[in-house]
Amino acid sequence: MTPPRQPFDLETLETLLERTPGNGRAKLLPLLLEAQKEWGYLPEKSVEAISQALRVPVAEIHGVIEFYSMLYRRPAGRTIVRICEGPMCAQAGARQILEAACRHLGVTEGEPTENGEYMVESVHCLGLCDHAPAALVGEVPVANITAEDLQGWIATPQAAPLGKVGGEPRWLTARCGSMEPLDLQSYEKSGGFSGLKKALQGLEPAEVIEAIKASGLVGRGGAAFPTGLKWEYTAGAPGDTRYVVCNGDESEPGTFKDRVLMEGDPFAVLEGMLLAGYAVGARRGYLYVRGEYSRAQRILSQAIERAREVGYLGPKVLGSDFEFDIELRSGAGAYICGEETALFESIEGKRGFPRLKPPFPTTYGLFGQPTVINNVETLVAAAWIIQHGPEAYRSVGTDESPGSKLFCVSGDVEMPGVYEVPFGTKLRELVDLAGGPHGQIQAVLLGGAAGAFAKPDELDLPMSFEGLRQAGLPLGSGVVTVINTERDMRIFLVSLAHFFAHESCGKCFPCQLGTQRQLEIVSAWANGSASRGDLAALQDVGYAMTQASFCGLGMTAGTAILSAFEKWPDLWG
């Protein structure tokens, strides 16, 4: 049995303060997470003491705690059982499993058991869409949970495997699942860090940037901004201090490729950050990973420590004049922190509210300094490009979308997983790579929760930016969620609406109120109480969110739901 936690004491907090990274307010979120591990929640006395130590008002600390869903102001269970209710997990019976887990433990959802051992709560995505239905038991990701084996997966959780990784060419995913992720020698033997060595020994920073520009690499998080231009703008911004930030806050339902890279090839992530730092003149990087990815955080933390031990990180990288180090930061349960400026706010110890742009991160980013921020896949691709050259990267794909792309194929396919293929590969080929559909296809969601639906007669679409754009569909971060005819689209769409209503940060009214109203209308439709006028209202709400929301979350919160009713007008009834 897990030992009981001790009551708050100032001496323990002082120890936590000493070992928590960061300075001033930037120390706040890591310190809150460490304090919660110590006491199980954040007692008021701990908040007051942290306030005095960091000189942050108590009210502002409470605002931070209330913002992040993984921080608790009252006692929580020693082991928190988080059951995913994302779209595919919901289809697989997650709600019934959650209710069965509560009965099994004799607990109400969101309340700890009488002995304080467990607490069961719902989450809207765990990034385990290829293992649906899934749960996070403490810090253990668990695959394919059931309502029948509750004692097994709750009391003795078995960690989910990395997952299926396939495709051709396996450029960015070659090491995932084929080698021990923390085996530095194997990484080096497979060509790892050769791109960094090539840059430090024979390339000027500007030449690294030119190689990335020549490759045509664009951001893999969904925005598709040219990576080389982003690096060039940051390198040319005035000031002596610059930062590199890796966005590992992969929180959108249907997306799990970055998790596979972080867990399966962590040194490649570090190498990409190092190359970005060298190219733009940064000496420090932040690797921000969502709080639910505890296994990825553990692997990356060990990889950073190992890289530092052998000289890949530190004051003189590989004996050169290049100085660069990386700090790992954990999110605490907020999808909005995947938005780049909200992520900066989180690192700075604030609620993850998006900033107004301009100014853009390349001139005014983290701590007000020029900042390069890329997601995990983008940085891993950059490391590959510097090692092999931009011409090799352009040898596959299309003219407008060169290179390979990682697609997250989940839902009703035989082998859900991450598949790396050249841009331009047909959607049908991706589904076939995943073993083909399980049953007859009803719809395919492209681009994730913020994406749009494709119909079964659109399976020959080329999976490239320009190919999908011509069809009015987004490529996004590479989500492909297959839904067969046996699935209830009502459950799927209500799950999407729940996700956005829960994750809206509340900074702007169009998104805050629009996502709530969208959920109300879609829920009414699902239970048969909606009117034809409600469909018109839903369209109005979606238009208002798209046109008036402050950031991309609100702008895309209604796209998938509205696309479903547009593609299948009879769906409304």
pLDDT digits (tens, 9 = 90+) for 34-63: 999 999 999 999 999 999 999 999 999 999
> Is 296 a residue whose pLDDT tops 70?
yes
> Is 2 a residue whose pLDDT tops 60?
no
CATH 1.20.1440.230 correct for 489-572 = yes
pLDDT, residue 7, reads 81
Amino acid at 19: R
Work out the percent of the chain whose per-residue pLDDT is above 90. 96
Mean pLDDT of 327-337: 97
Q: Bigger pLDDT: 22 or 231?
A: 231
Of residues 311, 297, 264, 285, the one with CA closest to residue 369 = 285
Distance CA 325, CA 313 (A): 5
> Is 550 a residue whose pLDDT tops 50?
yes
β-bridge partners, 83: 122, 135
pLDDT, residue 276, reads 98
**Pairing label, strands 371-375, 243-248:** parallel
> Is 253 a residue whose pLDDT tops 60?
yes
pLDDT, residue 57, reads 97
Structure tokens at 356: 């107004």
> Is 67 a residue whose pLDDT tops 70?
yes
- Which residue carries 């082998």 as its tokens? 415
Mean pLDDT of 563-567: 95
Sorted by sequence, the CB contacts under 8 Å of residue 2 that are 6+ apart come out as: 78, 79, 117
Domain spans of the chain? 10-67, 79-155, 165-393, 404-484, 489-572
Amino acid at 340: E
pLDDT, residue 524, reads 97
> Is 102 a residue whose pLDDT tops 50?
yes
Mean pLDDT of 134-158: 97
pLDDT, residue 4, reads 58
Q: Which CATH code fits 404-484?
A: 3.10.20.600
6 band by pLDDT with thresholds 50, 70 and 90: confident
Mean pLDDT of 94-101: 97
Answer whether 449's CB lies under 8 Å from 87's CB: yes
CATH topology of domain 79-155: Glutaredoxin (3.40.30)
> Is 364 a residue whose pLDDT tops 50?
yes
Distance CA 528, CA 545 (A): 25
Mean pLDDT of 397-404: 97
Q: For residue range 488-519, what is the model confidence (pLDDT) as tens digits?
A: 999 999 999 999 999 999 999 999 999 999 99
| Backbone Cα Rg of the chain | 23
Distance CA 492, CA 161 (A): 26
Longest dimension (CA), the chain: 70
Provide the mean pLDDT of the chain: 96
**Cβ atoms within 10 A of the Cβ of 228, count?**
22
Distance CA 147, CA 244 (A): 44
Distance CA 493, CA 499 (A): 10
Please state which architecture CATH assigns to domain 165-393.
3-Layer(aba) Sandwich (3.40)
Mean pLDDT of 418-429: 98
Mean pLDDT of 521-548: 95
> Is 235 a residue whose pLDDT tops 90?
yes
Query: Which DSSP string do the residues of 269-327 spell out, in sequence order?
Result: HHHHHHHHHHHHT-SEEEEEE-TT-HHHHHHHHHHHHHHHHTTSSBSSGGGSS--BEEE
Specify the DSSP class assigned to residue 395: T
532 band by pLDDT with thresholds 50, 70 and 90: confident
Question: Strand (E) positions, 35-149?
Answer: 79-84, 118-123, 135-137, 140-142
**Cβ atoms within 10 A of the Cβ of 227, count?**
25
Structure tokens at 321: 């004049």
> Is 3 a residue whose pLDDT tops 80?
no
Q: State in Å, rounded, how far the first CA of the chain is from the last one.
A: 53
Query: What are the CA-CA distances from residue 226 to residues 97, 366, 382, 411 (Å)?
Result: 43, 20, 12, 31
For residue 140, give the 3-state DSSP assignment.
Answer: strand
Answer whether 20's CB lies under 8 Å from 30's CB: yes
Mean pLDDT of 137-141: 98
pLDDT, residue 1, reads 39
